Amino acid sequence: MVKDTLLESLGIEITHLEKGKVIATMPVDERTKQPMGLLHGGASVALAETVASVGAYELVDKETQAVAGLEINANHVRPTTEGMVTAVGTVLHQGKSTMVWDIKITDGQDRLICVSRCTMAVMKLRN
């Protein structure tokens, strides 16, 4: 499912997956930096929404339901210029039609880089 997607383009790897929790990594490199050499805020948001999306998908009935991002916000609290960032997402609310996920992104020294909250829509698949 990763081939030819944004995950592949940005080097995002899912490293841990359990019901209600997802961990993923992303390199800080030429694919994810902005022109001034800092991790691009959009790359952090893409990582955060990826974690929420993967996590939400694990909590639905895959035969009858799908998920999609409905809303996301992010606070970029510290810059980083190199290495790997890690996103840890946990479900805060699991409802019938929405889920809310909390995502914290840290650098290699476990310093908070970004905190995000993502609301996922839970949709019924059409037969």
What is the set of active-site residues?
49
Cα–Cα distance, 19 to 57 (Å, whole number): 10
**40-44, long-range: CB < 8 A, 24+ apart:** 41/74, 41/76, 41/114, 43/10, 44/74, 44/76, 44/85, 44/105, 44/113, 44/114, 44/116
